[in-house]
Structure 1
């Protein structure tokens, strides 16, 4: 499968970007083609419906990758009980044609224990874009962030990695099921 990950932080070395990168590497090890859009490294211009949405090179590249994607991951820090403005801006460049029928996994990181508000809001947006929310999400908060800030501390933070692996496996399984052509099992009754 082709998977696009949008890392929605505007901070260098953001924990949410590190989690997104970890998820991408794990999925690539499973044989998937993964493309990470780091919105800090590849900033998008401020979206305006008055401008040609694909006029900027980064926006056009994101749109093309999303059209080709089989599944999507959105990663964000939680700011003030919501997801980041740079991720919202990126989503404004996209539409139903980029999400329709695709499995989407949401990831958030928070300074506090969990970032659930941002995940709930992302799930509502995904539904409006006709995407299919993965039944699990990933929330990394509080001391769990240390696992990523310290460069992959698997020994002391096994629980968070187990949860991430389970969520990624569920996401990949659902996405692969949605990619299979449906088999004809109906018959004409006459």
Structure 2
């Protein structure tokens, strides 16, 4: 099973739009995926699912993560790194079995000009600790608001080229 993680809980985020773009593009290439949107985390996650506790609301999410073999993380830039809710989500998942020896692909996005390079690097460090194997080709998409058309699809030649290359490699990874 392959899961795309929309790495923020911000409503109507560009992150979710990009996750859906990757899902549709991968489906056209013959790869079925599912999206887990961090907006769907339980509202009381911090009180109910950290430090060895498990709520009924988080259990299906834990089962989804445990059953996933490959992850594609869409990671927006928040304050020079990645969203705290993404780290909280990782912390709530069972360790080590949730991510141990599984595979991940990382996509950084930002409204600025660096495409969340620092945040993706920070997240890659966490992946290393979790023994989550990260595909070497990481994409950093800057000025995200100018990268997509009205249908929320990439249209710029370079972005299409690099995202397609990343998806082709992710399929083989």
* TM-score normalised per structure 1: 0.79
CA distance in 1, matches of 2:165, 2:97: 28
Q: Does structure 1 residue 161 correspond to structure 2 residue 151?
A: no
CA RMSD, Structure 1 to Structure 2 (Å): 1.9
> Which runs of no fewer than 5 residues in structure 1 stay unpaired?
175-190
Listed as ranges, the matches of 1:1-190 within 5 Å are 2-40=1-39, 42-44=40-42, 45-48=44-47, 49-50=50-51, 52-53=53-54, 55-57=55-57, 59-94=58-93, 95-114=95-114, 115-142=116-143, 144-148=144-148, 150-152=150-152, 154-155=154-155, 157-174=156-173
Counting matched residue pairs gives 168
Preserved CA contact (<8 Å) 1:73 1:104: yes
Where do 4+ consecutive residues of structure 1 move more than 4 Å?
none
- How far the C-alpha of 1:87 sits from its partner, in A, is 1.0
Preserved CA contact (<8 Å) 2:51 2:92: no
> Which runs of no fewer than 5 residues in structure 2 stay unpaired?
none
Preserved CA contact (<8 Å) 1:47 1:92: no
- How far the C-alpha of 1:74 sits from its partner, in A, is 1.4
Per-residue CA shift, 1:129-169, capped at 9, x if unaligned?
Answer: 11100111121111x432336334554x1211211111111
Which has the larger Rg?
1
CA distance in 1, matches of 2:137, 2:120: 10
